[in-house]
């Protein structure tokens, strides 16, 4: 699955993050750019923990523009 533009890259990133965090509340993309043959996406993700707590983390995701596969994924708490 080829990633043709920033919108395709964001859609692919949303799918991966939703699979990783079933209790997802919000995704905020701060940076989406193409470098060489891959897309670099940076942003923040909020998801629910327990009943009242929401956790916020930053993420960095790298997607191959030719295959659409995730080549790198990192999350860090804020």
Let me know how long the chain is: 78
What class does CATH assign to 6-77? alpha beta
The strand pairing partners of 62, in sequence order, are 40, 72
- pTM strictly above 0.85: yes
pLDDT per residue as tens digits for the range 23-39: 899 999 999 999 989 99
Domain segments of the chain: what residues? 6-77
Which residue would you say has higher pLDDT here, 51 or 37?
37
State the pLDDT confidence band at 52, using cuts at 50, 70 and 90. Answer: confident
Cβ-contact 11, 63 below 8 angstroms: no
Q: Is 26 exposed, middle or buried (0-12, 13-18, 19+ CB in 10 A)?
A: exposed
**Cα torsion 51, 54, 55, 59: sign:** positive
pLDDT in tens, 5-18: 999 999 999 999 99
């Amino acid at each position: 699955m080829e990633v043709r533009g920033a919108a395709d890259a964001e859609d692919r990133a949303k799918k991966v993050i939703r699979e990783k965090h079933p209790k997802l509340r919000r995704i905020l993309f701060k940076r989406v750019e193409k470098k060489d043959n891959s897309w670099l996406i940076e942003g923040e993700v909020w998801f629910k923990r327990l009943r009242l707590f929401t956790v916020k983390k930053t993420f960095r995701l790298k997607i191959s523009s030719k295959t659409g596969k995730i080549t790198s994924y990192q999350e860090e708490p804020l």
